Amino acid sequence: MNTPPTPEYLNGLVAELRKQPAETGWVEFKENNSNPEDIGEYLSALSNTAALQGKANGYVVWGVKDGTHEVTGAHFQPARGKKGNEDLENWLIRLLNPRIHFHFYEVTHEGKPVVVLEIPRAHGKPTQFQGVEFIRVGSCRQKLKDHSQIEKDLWRVFDTTPFEELIALSHVEAAEVQSLLDYPAYFELLGQPLPSDLEKMLARLADDTLIVADAAGKWNITNLGAILFARNLEKFKTLARKAVRLIVYEGKGRLQTSREQIIRKGYACGFQATLEQIKALLPRKEAVGPGGIRMEVPLYPEPAIRELIPNALIHQDFAVTGSGPMVEIFSDRMEITNPGLPLVKTERFLDCPPRSRNEALASVMRRVGICEERGSGVDKVVAETERHQLPAPLFETPDGFTRAILFTHRPFRDMNSADRMRACYLHACLRFVERDPMTNSSLRTRLGISEKNKAMVSRVISDAVEKGLIKPEDPEQGKKYAKYIPHWA
């Protein structure tokens, strides 16, 4: 949470937890046992059990009797707790893997002191304490490795619970939902009228799983709601590094930065502003327009940028922590990078059907008109670079990231062999998906080369065939009127 919960909220939470059945696996009631090792094992057990049972958090409550849930009062004071000479919380954090963001809260409930330990659900892998994974079986805390079926079920949860359903911020009041999420943008982008009252607005956001009700009658903002419609991603600790970074460099390298900006709005509500900011940062060239009027035009086709930015946002791997989408602008190129490896090979970006790593995110982005989810985005990028006779885009996967690179204009004579063969290969791919094989003539047009220099293009085609990038449509065809298709066709 960005602010501590109020006493009113905590009293409501304790009241709701006391209503739970005695065998609830994600809640543990204790009167006063504050043994540090026990607390650490409960952190692991309840974090894993909460994930298994589809809860955002697990809880340990001190000062409430197990079984009857009678309030007896707690003597435990976590802020003063020690393990040896080390503060209790620091000791617990150090021995947890991964380091989950748990919280101790103290409240007076029914006139007696109560302590609540709130434990986030495990995500991606089981939570360990001192290298051991624990789970709750009924009301007992046990080692996960001793229950093979439960362990399999837990890993299945990790495999099937998408990033979008996880909680970005818990226990939010209705008014705070309004301040944290750009809800007017949500309705505007969907072309729907703004609801007349707060309750209807919240219900509509909940229908799209942007928010979900919590156990105490407040709201949890999901990752989906925050990443798409946050007014400021800095307000969401786990998502702050997922904000889009824009960096402009001097020259062709990364030695000197001339400008850097972070777009802190959610991807959907801030998308248009992100595009406008990128366009403002991109270099432009002077050209003569209709009527001899001089005008500035962008060095990169805007439709290509309009396709690549949503791809980077939607297809990133959110499990890669500490990194987010980045747009880097150099004197000769722009690079758009997102965390995570693609689900299809880069050489098949142009023809493969769409596969969304984050399906709910992609669905909402499609509904608000930001992406198509039809798999035609890269086709458009390649077509736009061909129309402007720019070097072919480059798609690569450096060190677990996915990167798309657009280049400024470069004459054929200044292209190296890799540039020329890449242009040939992507042109063959584009023609193939349009059911029209590549020819020497079509590649000449794409590269802006006259017929008298067709031998230059023949050499490029020959090199691409030799490298296994393309192949003759008909193995028996002659050189005259020869047609070519991608190697995978």
Q: What is the pLDDT of residues 136-184, one digit of tens each?
A: 998 889 999 999 999 999 998 887 778 898 889 888 999 999 999 999 9
Contact 288, 339 (CB under 8 A): no
CATH entry 3.30.565.60 includes domain 243-410: yes
- What is the reported pTM? 0.73
Tokens 């949860």 map to which residue?
157
Question: Using CA atoms, how far apart are residues 335 and 420, in angstroms rounded to an integer?
Answer: 19
Report the chain's mean pLDDT, rounded to a whole number.
Answer: 90
In this prediction, residue 235 has a pLDDT band, given cuts at 50, 70 and 90, of very high
Token pair belonging to 433: 């998906």
| CA distance between the termini of the chain | 52
Q: Is the pLDDT of residue 287 over 70?
A: no
CATH topology of domain 411-489: Arc Repressor Mutant, subunit A (1.10.10)
Contact 468, 485 (CB under 8 A): no
Residues of the chain with pLDDT > 90, as a percent, come to 68
- The model's pLDDT over 23-82, given as tens digits with 9 standing for 90+, comes to 788 999 998 888 999 999 999 999 999 999 988 789 999 999 988 999 999 989 998 888
Burial class (CB in 10 A: 0-12, 13-18, 19+), 303: middle
In this prediction, residue 374 has a pLDDT band, given cuts at 50, 70 and 90, of low
Instruction: Give me the residue spans of the domains in the chain.
Output: 7-161, 169-239, 243-410, 411-489
Question: Which of residues 376 and 188 earns the better pLDDT score?
Answer: 188
Token pair belonging to 80: 């003063």
Same fold, 169-239 and 411-489: yes
Question: Using CA atoms, how far apart are residues 279 and 266, in angstroms rounded to an integer?
Answer: 19
Question: Using CA atoms, how far apart are residues 66 and 50, in angstroms rounded to an integer?
Answer: 19
- The model's pLDDT over 444-488, given as tens digits with 9 standing for 90+, comes to 999 999 999 999 999 999 999 999 999 999 988 877 889 999 999
Question: Using CA atoms, how far apart are residues 97 and 289, in angstroms rounded to an integer?
Answer: 61
In this prediction, residue 225 has a pLDDT band, given cuts at 50, 70 and 90, of very high
Q: What average pLDDT does this structure show over 367-378? A: 75
Question: Using CA atoms, how far apart are residues 449 and 383, in angstroms rounded to an integer?
Answer: 17
Query: What pLDDT, on a 0 to 100 scale, did the predictor assign at position 343?
Result: 86
CA nearest to 442, candidates 483, 489, 406: 483
Contact 350, 433 (CB under 8 A): yes
- The CATH number that domain 7-161 falls under is 3.30.950
Question: Using CA atoms, how far apart are residues 152 and 351, in angstroms rounded to an integer?
Answer: 36
Domain 169-239 class in CATH: mainly alpha
Tell me how far the alpha carbon of residue 202 is from its chain's centroid: 24
Q: Is 284 left (phi over 0), alpha (psi -120 to 50) or beta?
A: beta
Question: Using CA atoms, how far apart are residues 68 and 31, in angstroms rounded to an integer?
Answer: 12
CA nearest to 406, candidates 262, 306, 261, 260: 306
Token pair belonging to 225: 């709601």
